[in-house]
Amino acid sequence: MKLFLLTILNSLTLAGLYFLVASGFSLVFGLMRSVNLAHGALYLLGGYIGWEVAEFSGSWLNGIAAGAVSMALCGAFLQLCVFRFLEGQELRQTLVSIGLSIIVADVMLATWGGQAYQFEVPDFLWGSVKIPLLGLKYPIYRLFVLAAAVLAGILLWLLLNRTRLGKMIRAGVDDRTMLEATGVDIQKIFVVVFALGAGLAGLAGV
């Protein structure tokens, strides 16, 4: 029974990590209909940049911030310089994003090699904690990842359904022309969405 419960917990925490990656992709694709198949490359690049910053500064939290912010800036750049000119052209978006992912992957391979890198987990996330109801010990870090994924999901839902920005994003997807007629710069809204999606990928990478 303990092995069964442990397997369930492992599945939940891994699903939480996958959710952080997929939420960024679904945010861009589901709301903007932009096919960004370079999302996985941003996930990996965010992890590498976060590792470099964490090693240089000695702070894992700095690594998280660097991975998320750097990929958010990359996402904004991609929207402004690439996907902005490919709106409504799904095939071209797919081919261009695949090409970008191949280029970024080769650059990362040349820079960091094919080796695995390990983060130093902060002291407050080190070790395990006993779960009273289940009667077993479980790593604190995995529980932290699961909690972060749940928190990210709640914040995204609140952003899209309870804020003015969320209303503008949904309105821009449903009727872009009408939203622009009200004086809203739809391109700025889409840049924010793309940056948020890429930032979540960088966060998950770290």
- The predicted-structure confidence for 103-127, as pLDDT tens digits, reads as follows 999 999 999 998 888 888 888 888 8
**Pairwise CA distance, residues 127 & 131, whole Å:** 13
What pLDDT was estimated at residue 103? 96
**Pairwise CA distance, residues 73 & 196, whole Å:** 9
What pLDDT was estimated at residue 104? 95
Nearest to 117 by CA among 29, 205, 192: 205
Question: Does 46 score more than 90 pLDDT?
Answer: yes
Percent of the chain whose predicted confidence (pLDDT) is above 70 = 100
* pTM for this entry: 0.88
Burial degree of 141 (CB within 10 A; 0-12, 13-18, 19+): middle
Mean per-residue pLDDT, 126-132: 87
Per-residue model confidence as pLDDT tens digits over 132-153 = 777 788 999 999 999 999 999 9
- 124 DSSP 8-state letter: G
55 is written with which tokens? 């090693």
**Pairwise CA distance, residues 45 & 24, whole Å:** 15
Question: pLDDT tier at 101 (50, 70, 90 boundaries)?
Answer: very high
35 is written with which tokens? 């096919």
What pLDDT was estimated at residue 136? 84
**Pairwise CA distance, residues 27 & 33, whole Å:** 9
Q: Where are the alpha helices (DSSP H) in 33-137?
A: 39-57, 60-81, 90-112
Question: Does 173 score more than 90 pLDDT?
Answer: no
Question: Does 184 score more than 80 pLDDT?
Answer: yes
Query: What count of other Cβ atoms lies within 10 Å of the Cβ of residue 191?
Result: 19
Question: Does 187 score more than 90 pLDDT?
Answer: no
Residues present in the chain in total: 206
Return mean pLDDT, the chain. Answer: 90
Q: Dihedral (C-alpha) 165, 146, 127, 5: value to the nearest 10 degrees?
A: 170
Residue type, 199: G
What pLDDT was estimated at residue 36? 87
Question: pLDDT tier at 53 (50, 70, 90 boundaries)?
Answer: very high
What pLDDT was estimated at residue 166? 87
What pLDDT was estimated at residue 77? 95
What pLDDT was estimated at residue 54? 95
Mean per-residue pLDDT, 69-75: 96
